[in-house]
């Protein structure tokens, strides 16, 4: 969905409506959310001598029959769509993720820095090796269970992975329950439930006087989120969480989270900056996230420093914070030295968790730089998106504070005109027009779709501009992934200033 005032995306509102209709048709085929049928919506290809068979297949929803053929098709120039419609990839590709294809990445391993886990980052194949067929849903895929029930239960057949339940069941990540997966709300360091853990963090950040909201936390980045139960149980506090995890040995943990209706994405802390703007989060959270923060001169901690707002918190729940055996004390000492060099303050350490606060202390940073304890970054252009940008082994000195942190409630932030917009020539009138436009459009969309407002949970705005579309949806039980294409103006900082979440991407 396009942002208003982005003329390069669409020439008219009618063009926008056409795109919406096309997206709904594709989404309907994949998820079946508009058809009201819990039977399987995918029929495997007919017997064939090859996986690229063009034998026709039947896709029955009880309302219409698709004429698409099952065929493993790769991108060609020029692009051609068969008369029968886009081909459908074979069922074995139901979890194919572009730029995270394991077989392709294996071929790149000799040239990747595996010591820094570069293989977990995005690696896109050349055009001729990119799939050009629709990814099918899993066999026996059912219409997703609606939110908020989906927080706790999803269909097993929709994410049919058993290993995660076997390995993490004792930590209450996920359990098998007949035809369902049950998520009791546990995690590696909060197996007794996320609510108790979240309250403990609130106590630690407020000296036992409040919760995370009263500590000023509105947006959280959850590193190595697993099935995202931490994020799910922050929602009652109206805290928005951008959760991510790599595609690794934990099978497709992100698919579990998305099936639950929780905002997550595949990403990894490795060699490149994360696709989020600087100074976007009041908290970065790591609960046994399997990140070696102490290695490579603390470059990953410096990336966290870039992402944290002033007075933001870094929460670290992992063995080095509490265990005295093995190499954990050595790792802890390295962490203390690195965080001290960045002028962070350790404000709490109890049970299995340590919490630092990022202090904007220019004098401290400059003094530590003079002592060769860290490097100060050269001035950078903040309007440039952090996309495919190498991490920087340095700290950016912030010359001034933003007023956004004085707005503690998300409701206040939703209407904020961010000063970052003025730097890229988007004025307040254009900002307000975008907001009003999407309020009208969202009402129109719902009338056109003619469905219950509880039938949609996961939404992606592919060209979010200032986030007006997400703001218009704010009262509905949805979450919106706001995507700002790197080919457009960098408005993602303004989107985060409004209390929303999103990422940069290159379509």
Over 90: is that where the pLDDT of 189 sits? Answer: no
Q: What is the total count of domains within the chain?
A: 3
**Cα 496 from Cα 482, distance rounded (Å):** 10
| 40 found inside a domain | no
The pLDDT, as a whole number, for residue 407 is 64
Single residue among 88, 120, 136 that ends a domain in this structure: 136
- Note the pLDDT tens digit of each residue in 36-53: 345 444 444 333 444 444
Give the alpha-carbon dihedral of 36, 37, 38, 43, to 10 degrees: -140
**Banded pLDDT at 85 (limits 50, 70, 90):** very high
Q: Are residues 130 and 209 in the same domain?
A: no
Helices (H), 395-480: 410-413, 419-422, 428-449, 468-472
- Range 5-31 average pLDDT: 41
Q: Which residue intervals of 63-187 are DSSP H helices?
A: 102-108, 163-168
Burial class (CB in 10 A: 0-12, 13-18, 19+), 255: buried
**156 found inside a domain:** no
Give the pLDDT of residue 165.
76
Statement: residue 57 has pLDDT above 50: no
Q: Which domain holds residue 110?
A: 66-136
**Site of tokens 């307000």:** 432
The 10s digit of each residue's pLDDT in 136-162 is 999 999 999 999 999 999 999 999 888
Domain assignment present for residue 359? The answer is: yes
Q: Which pLDDT tens digit goes with each residue over 210-227?
A: 999 999 999 999 999 999
State which H helix or E strand residue 309 sits in: strand 308-317
Res 206: pLDDT: 97
CATH number for the domain spanning 200: value is 3.40.50.150
In a domain, 392, yes or no: no
Structural contact between residues 484 and 462, judged by C-beta atoms closer than 8 angstroms: no
Binned at pLDDT 50, 70 and 90, residue 170 comes out as confident
**Do 321 and 421 fall within a single domain?**
no
Q: Do 202 and 102 lie in a common domain?
A: no
Please tell me the predicted confidence (pLDDT) of residue 20: 44
Residue 35, pLDDT > 50, answer no
Q: Is residue 84 part of a domain?
A: yes
- pLDDT tens-digit series, residues 349-368: 998 999 999 998 999 999 99
The reported pTM is: 0.87
Stretch 115-120: mean pLDDT, rounded? 96
Task: Please indicate, yes or no, whether residues 363 and 414 belong to a single structural domain of this protein.
Answer: no
């Amino acid at each position: 969905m396009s942002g208003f005032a982005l003329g390069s995306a669409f020439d008219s509102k009618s063009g926008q409506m056409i795109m919406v209709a096309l997206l709904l048709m594709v989404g309907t085929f994949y998820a079946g959310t508009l058809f009201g049928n819990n039977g399987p919506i995918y029929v495997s290809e007919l017997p064939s001598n090859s996986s690229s068979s063009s034998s026709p297949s039947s896709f029955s929803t009880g309302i219409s029959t698709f004429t698409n053929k099952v065929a493993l098709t790769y991108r060609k120039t020029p692009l051609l769509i068969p008369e029968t419609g886009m081909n459908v990839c074979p069922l074995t590709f139901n979890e194919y993720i572009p730029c995270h294809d394991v077989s392709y990445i294996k071929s790149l391993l000799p040239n990747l820095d595996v010591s820094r886990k570069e293989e977990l980052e995005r690696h896109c194949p050349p055009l001729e090796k990119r799939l050009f067929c629709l990814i099918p849903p899993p066999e026996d895929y059912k219409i997703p269970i609606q939110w908020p029930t989906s927080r706790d239960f999803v269909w097993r057949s929709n994410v049919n992975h058993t290993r995660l339940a076997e390995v993490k069941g004792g930590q209450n990540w996920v359990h098998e329950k007949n035809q369902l997966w049950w998520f009791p709300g546990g995690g590696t360091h909060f197996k007794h439930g996320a609510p108790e853990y979240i309250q403990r963090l609130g106590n630690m950040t407020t000296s036992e006087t409040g919760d995370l909201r009263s500590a000023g936390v509105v947006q959280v980045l959850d590193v190595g989120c697993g099935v995202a139960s931490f994020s799910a149980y922050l929602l009652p506090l109206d805290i928005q969480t951008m959760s991510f995890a790599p595609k690794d040995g934990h099978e497709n943990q992100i698919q579990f989270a998305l099936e639950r209706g929780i905002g997550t994405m595949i990403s990894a802390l490795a060699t490149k900056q994360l696709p989020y703007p600087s100074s976007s989060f009041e908290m970065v959270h790591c609960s046994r996230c399997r990140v070696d923060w102490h290695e490579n001169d603390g470059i990953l901690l410096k990336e966290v420093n870039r992402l944290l707002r002033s007075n933001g918190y870094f929460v670290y729940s992992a063995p080095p914070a509490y265990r005295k055996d093995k190499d954990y004390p050595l790792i802890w000492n390295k962490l203390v030295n690195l965080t001290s060099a960045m002028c962070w303050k350790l404000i709490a350490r109890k049970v299995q968790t340590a919490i630092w606060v990022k202090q904007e202390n220019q004098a401290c940073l400059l003094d530590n730089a003079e002592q060769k304890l860290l490097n100060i970054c050269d001035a950078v252009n903040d309007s440039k998106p952090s996309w495919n940008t190498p991490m920087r082994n340095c700290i950016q000195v912030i010359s001034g504070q933003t007023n956004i942190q004085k707005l503690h409630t998300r409701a206040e932030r939703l209407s904020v005109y961010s000063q970052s917009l003025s730097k890229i020539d988007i004025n307040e009138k254009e900002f307000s027009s975008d907001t009003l436009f999407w309020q009208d459009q969202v009402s129109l969309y719902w009338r056109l779709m003619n469905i219950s407002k509880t039938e949609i949970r996961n939404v992606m705005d592919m060209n979010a501009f200032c986030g007006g579309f997400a703001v218009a949806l704010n009262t509905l039980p949805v979450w919106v992934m706001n995507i700002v294409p790197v080919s457009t103006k960098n408005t993602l900082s303004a989107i985060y200033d409004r209390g929303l979440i999103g990422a940069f991407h290159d379509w």
